Structure 1
Amino acid sequence: MITGELKSKVDRLWTSFWNNGISNPLSVIEQISYLLFIKRLDDLELVKEKRAQRLGGGVKDAMFPADKQQCRWSHFKNLNDAEAMLAIVRDEAFPFIKQLGGTDGTSAYAKHMQDAVFMIPSAALLDSVVHQIDNIPMEDRDTKGDLYEYMLSKLSTAGTNGQFRTPRHIIKLMVDLTAPKPMDLICDPACGTAGFLVAAAEYLRDLKDEDGNQVINAPGNLEHYQSEMFHGFDFDATMLRIGSMNLMLHGIESPKIEARDSLSEDHAGVEEAFTLVLANPPFKGSIEKSTIAKDLTQMIKTTKTELLFIALFLRLLKKGGRAAAIVPDGVLFGSSKAHQGMRKSLVEEHKLDGVIAMPSGVFKPYAGVSTAIVLFTKVGVKSGGTDFVWFYDMQADGFSLDDKRQSIEENDIPDILARWQARDAAKDTDRKDRAFFVPREEIKANGYDLSISRYKEIEYEEVEYDPPRVILQKLRSLEDEIRGDLDVLEGLLR
């Protein structure tokens, strides 16, 4: 999370837009995103140019052709004429980034950018914003992510319709738990700004083989990574644009980001298409029954989105595919027939790998909802079934659990990853520990209740008290002291 001077710089940038008539938070984020995208393209080009100078020869895969050099951030930011800067950015640089995915409108990025509008109205505002952005240090990728997350927190719609921004360290935890593979087909059916897909891309970028070589560069892997691996669905046009730009900046040349209302009948055709689903879908209670995809209602009779999304994940996954998703606590212990039926399906028909209970402060300051991470593998009715479920009771995530969310030493995430990788149903049986296994038969006997409190044993510390006579004597001594003090005060009043 960003604090101090960097936070103040972002706040001043935000205020500049508001003072010049752009008051819709989503519009502000979108305009800043365009400028950040232009700047990032130029930063990548500068790296290529430095490499070419060092090694000799020309720039490989240059982003800016000779006739588009004026569109580069490093060019127009140094112009002394604000009106000239506005003309270049509005009439050349912005149309340039709109056409990056192709001019025929066939690529997902090009489709999302068709309706993009450059809204900065004055040269003075653009000049101010460009120089403010240029003074924000964004060399570190974590800083860029924190900056973006902080901007998203300013959305007036954040928290409505169940849309909570997922903290980046929780996203990374879920990616690490599922360990994406080079030929995976990865989907987030409620992708927003594509945070899960970006984290998966970074995980694979860092993945090395036994000889220390990047796995992503192996024959066939890079092409799959750049064009076929990443899929995201959302129905918000602005988020689709932001998500597409986000993935392209992370080296994904053709991300499959599509406009879909994932639960609707209009988009019910996608099934058994992916090997990994990562998601924190919006949980907004109930939706209109007539709009729900019929194949989902056949799996589960409900209008509650938190249950429908789990059914959706199962529909989207290929057999053997795995998922990590954030769910509200009610999914784990809800007593309705639909709740119990969905949990039974995960346990009996598929392989429920793990449940990680998270503290309620994880989503603060945007929401105080209690949540958990569920990890499962789609198996199939005939060969399915869970033998044991791994539970972990997360107490701390490295940040304070109040609205400030300041960094603290207590952090269970490294322990979660270590325990997950070394988990052993025969050994992890201590119910007083943070991590333990529970057999399927016990879960079944408890109505498929998956709340950790149902199985965890709390170890109470024995407290020794003084004998009653000693306690009474102490009370009398205290009363004598009080009487003595009252006598002194009474004496002072005479």
Structure 2
Amino acid sequence: MARANTQFVKRIQDIMRNDPGINGDAQRIEQLSWILFLKVYDDREMIWEISRDNYLSIIPAGFHWHEWAVDNKDGQSLTGDELLDFVNNKLLPALKEITVTPDTPISKAIVKDAFIDANNYMKNGILLRQVLNVVNDVDFTDPKDRHLFNDIYEGILKELQSAGNSGEFYTPRALTDFIAETLKPKLGEKMADLACGTGGFLTSTLNLLRPQVKTVEDRDQYNHAVFGIEKKGQPYILAVTNLLLHDVDDPDIIHGNSLERRVTEYEDDEKFDIIMMNPPFGGSELPIIKQNFPNDLQSSETADLFLALIMYRLKDNGRVGIILPDGFLFGDDGAKINIKKRMLHDFNLHTIIRLPGSIFSPYTSIATNILFFDKTKPTEETWFYRLDMPKGYKHFSKTRPMKLEHFDPVREWWNNRHEIKEGDNYKSRAYTVKELEDNNYNFDLCGFPTETEEVLPPQELMQQYSQERAQLNAQIDKTLGAIKQLLEEDD
């Protein structure tokens, strides 16, 4: 599996790197995203034509994958400038201009949404033909090929971690699987991710629901079990494709911004049994967005707004697993304090898992946490547990990412909660609501030990800094010298 994954991705990489229009991994993945979508959608339509009465495609005639992308080795397939002209001036405009009405089924409406922001970056039609041929080698109607491609697709998503800002749309599979496993979704429940990125939480949920499918009714519940909203075009198309690959015929994913509606307007039928999220960190929204929230919850931090949104979209007895940065735990501005008060008094904030650093490396080094809460009763106590870096790891990386088994210490502790003290610090401890209130709602508890810096006498401190400055200056001079030499050689 892994080898096929590597070979597929490497073949695509090798072809696209030779194209003058592809500038870096982010563009390569964006280009591949819409190509994969069309191929996967075409293969799903073959199944729908058999299983659905009088099925009519929303894609105009002549623009289905099998009509233009397949190379029948008869010398008639589009390639070179002819292929570029077709894609740029006929295919993409036609898909962007598809007419969608409120009555259009989700399975059809997603086509237009998927191509609103799609672009063709490739400038060499011969290389584009080669990419199409590699993708066309996978038959998504074949269960064996589809299962194999789930691994390939996961590899493509993982590359988002190091593809510039696109990394924010990918949550490591170990995290999504652990949170889904902990919240235990059941058929008949509706799970949501209100900033779903590429759909990691959605597919982790589906993977747990699939073995529960026994009847035709179960199959229908599986098809409508997850809901997502994604603001950006590229992760949206990846998420939709991801759900199609998981046999969801009507991917209920909206291309839009969850924060653009007043939170007080949501009706009961717009609320969810389970919400799992890794909201954007450090972002900010337009001032008009803040007005969609009550005054006491208006924040400049996007993650805070999503947490407030969850409070309005969670059903009674619903449960949540959300990833948040350390800044939320110790933040003491008005909105953060008010959100924490509501979490303690209107919800049951039962567990906070402090996560080891570098989980999102290389995209970000921000320290993160998982907050688990439900809407069953007011909080009585909140357990904190610090998950340390596994033995043999100094940090996680693209080649050594976090794995699901690294959560084994949490799993063992979860059903047998007990206080753990290490020296002067707690690795695990329960705090009452009063203790948290008396601590000014600072949830930065059971954290990772910080190295204390030795305080030197002033004279020694000056000497140390002088040495460090001299070393730094020497390194800068060496680098500048090397650059100067290169410039002289170019002359």
Q: Please, which moves more after superposition, 347-356 or 138-147?
A: 138-147
Quote the offset at 1:261 in angstroms: 1.9
Could you say which residue in structure 1 is the equivalent of 2:395? 401
Structure 1 unaligned segments of length 5 or more: list them. 49-57, 207-214, 459-494
Q: Tell me the TM-score normalized by structure 2.
A: 0.71
Quote the offset at 1:167 in angstroms: 0.9
Could you say which residue in structure 1 is the equivalent of 2:482? none
Q: Aligned pair 1:332/2:329, yes or no? A: yes
Query: Take 1:112 and 1:69, find their aligned partners in 2: how far apart are those partners?
Result: 16
Quote the offset at 1:79 in angstroms: 2.3
Query: Take 1:106 and 1:64, find their aligned partners in 2: how far apart are those partners?
Result: 11
Given candidates 380, 383, 386, the residue that maps to 1:390 is 383
For the structure 1 residues 164 and 93, does the alpha-carbon distance in structure 2 shift closer, same or farther, using more than 3 Å as the test?
closer
Query: Take 2:358 and 2:277, find their aligned partners in 1: how far apart are those partners?
Result: 19
Quote the offset at 1:197 in angstroms: 1.0
Could you say which residue in structure 2 is the equivalent of 1:355? 352
Given candidates 190, 197, 220, the residue that maps to 2:202 is 197
> Per the alignment, in what secondary structure is the counterpart of residue 241 of structure 1?
helix
Quote the offset at 1:445 in angstroms: 2.8
Cα contact 1:362–1:397 (8 A) shared by 2: no
Query: Take 2:130 and 2:390, find their aligned partners in 1: how far apart are those partners?
Result: 38
Alignment of 1:32-181 (within 5 A): 32-40=32-40, 71-72=65-66, 76-79=70-73, 81=75, 83-84=77-78, 105=104, 107=106, 108-113=109-114, 115=116, 119=120, 123-133=125-135, 139-140=147-148, 143-153=151-161, 155-158=163-166, 163=168, 165-181=170-186
Quote the offset at 1:30 in angstroms: 3.5
For the structure 1 residues 321 and 288, does the alpha-carbon distance in structure 2 shift closer, same or farther, using more than 3 Å as the test?
same
Query: Take 1:404 and 1:350, find their aligned partners in 2: how far apart are those partners?
Result: 36
Query: Take 2:249 and 2:390, find their aligned partners in 1: how far apart are those partners?
Result: 33
For the structure 1 residues 265 and 80, does the alpha-carbon distance in structure 2 shift closer, same or farther, using more than 3 Å as the test?
same
For the structure 1 residues 74 and 370, does the alpha-carbon distance in structure 2 shift closer, same or farther, using more than 3 Å as the test?
same
Cα contact 1:276–1:322 (8 A) shared by 2: yes
Q: Give the partner amino acid of 1:173.
A: F
Quote the offset at 1:252 in angstroms: 1.4
Could you say which residue in structure 2 is the equivalent of 1:475? none
Given candidates 428, 443, 446, the residue that maps to 1:453 is 446
For the structure 1 residues 24 and 406, does the alpha-carbon distance in structure 2 shift closer, same or farther, using more than 3 Å as the test?
closer
Quote the offset at 1:262 in angstroms: 1.9
Query: Take 1:378 and 1:82, find their aligned partners in 2: how far apart are those partners?
Result: 61
Quote the offset at 1:352 in angstroms: 0.4
Given candidates 186, 190, 201, the residue that maps to 1:185 is 190
Given candidates 232, 239, 244, the residue that maps to 1:236 is 232
Deviations 1:189-209 (A, max 9, x none): 111222211221112113xxx
Cα contact 2:381–2:431 (8 A) shared by 1: yes
Cα contact 1:352–1:386 (8 A) shared by 2: yes
Query: Take 1:334 and 1:231, find their aligned partners in 2: how far apart are those partners?
Result: 30
Given candidates 361, 366, 375, the residue that maps to 2:363 is 366
Structure 2 unaligned segments of length 5 or more: list them. 139-144, 451-491
Deviations 1:341-368 (A, max 9, x none): 2222212221002111111210101110
Query: Take 1:10 and 1:150, find their aligned partners in 2: how far apart are those partners?
Result: 15
Q: Tell me the TM-score normalized by structure 1.
A: 0.71
For the structure 1 residues 403 and 116, does the alpha-carbon distance in structure 2 shift closer, same or farther, using more than 3 Å as the test?
closer
Q: Please, which moves more after superposition, 296-305 or 192-201?
A: 296-305
Q: Give the partner amino acid of 2:165.
A: T
Q: Give the partner amino acid of 2:337.
A: Q
Q: Aligned pair 1:416/2:410, yes or no? A: yes
Query: Take 1:279 and 1:358, find their aligned partners in 2: how far apart are those partners?
Result: 15
Quote the offset at 1:457 in angstroms: 9.8
Q: Please, which moves more after superposition, 195-204 or 389-398?
A: 389-398
Deviations 1:130-166 (A, max 9, x none): 344467998535522432224423543336xxx3521
Cα contact 2:352–2:384 (8 A) shared by 1: yes
Could you say which residue in structure 2 is the equivalent of 1:217? 214
Query: Take 1:170 and 1:436, find their aligned partners in 2: how far apart are those partners?
Result: 22
For the structure 1 residues 445 and 353, does the alpha-carbon distance in structure 2 shift closer, same or farther, using more than 3 Å as the test?
same
Query: Take 1:105 and 1:218, find their aligned partners in 2: how far apart are those partners?
Result: 27
Quote the offset at 1:181 in angstroms: 1.4
Query: Take 1:288 and 1:393, find their aligned partners in 2: how far apart are those partners?
Result: 35
For the structure 1 residues 262 and 392, does the alpha-carbon distance in structure 2 shift closer, same or farther, using more than 3 Å as the test?
same
Quote the offset at 1:442 in angstroms: 2.8
For the structure 1 residues 122 and 100, does the alpha-carbon distance in structure 2 shift closer, same or farther, using more than 3 Å as the test?
farther
Could you say which residue in structure 2 is the equivalent of 1:292? 290
Q: Tell me how large the CA RMSD over aligned residues is.
A: 4.3
Q: Give the partner amino acid of 2:245.
A: L
Could you say which residue in structure 1 is the equivalent of 2:420? 430
Q: Give the partner amino acid of 1:366.
A: Y
% same residue: 22
For the structure 1 residues 204 and 412, does the alpha-carbon distance in structure 2 shift closer, same or farther, using more than 3 Å as the test?
same
Deviations 1:360-384 (A, max 9, x none): 21010111010101111124xxxx3
Deviations 1:311-369 (A, max 9, x none): 11111111211111110101111233332322222122210021111112101011101
Query: Relative CO higher for 1 or 2, CA cutoff 8 Å, sep ≥ 6?
Result: 2
Could you say which residue in structure 2 is the equivalent of 1:469? none
Query: Take 1:371 and 1:282, find their aligned partners in 2: how far apart are those partners?
Result: 12
Quote the offset at 1:4 in angstroms: 7.0
> Per the alignment, in what secondary structure is the counterpart of residue 453 of structure 1?
coil
Q: Which has the larger radius of gyration?
A: 1
> Per the alignment, in what secondary structure is the counterpart of residue 322 of structure 2?
strand
Query: Take 1:339 and 1:41, find their aligned partners in 2: how far apart are those partners?
Result: 43
Could you say which residue in structure 2 is the equivalent of 1:302? 299
Deviations 1:165-223 (A, max 9, x none): 211111111111111111111111111222211221112113xxxxxxxx223463321
Cα contact 1:397–1:410 (8 A) shared by 2: no
Q: Aligned pair 1:315/2:323, yes or no? A: no
For the structure 1 residues 255 and 237, does the alpha-carbon distance in structure 2 shift closer, same or farther, using more than 3 Å as the test?
same
Deviations 1:94-140 (A, max 9, x none): 97999899997553414414636573565412322134446799853
Quote the offset at 1:286 in angstroms: 3.8
> Per the alignment, in what secondary structure is the counterpart of residue 203 of structure 1?
helix
Q: Please, which moves more after superposition, 266-275 or 368-377?
A: 266-275
Q: Please, which moves more after superposition, 112-121 or 311-320?
A: 112-121
Could you say which residue in structure 1 is the equivalent of 2:279? 281
Cα contact 1:400–1:407 (8 A) shared by 2: no
> Per the alignment, in what secondary structure is the counterpart of residue 339 of structure 1?
helix
Cα contact 1:324–1:375 (8 A) shared by 2: yes
Query: Take 1:236 and 1:410, find their aligned partners in 2: how far apart are those partners?
Result: 28
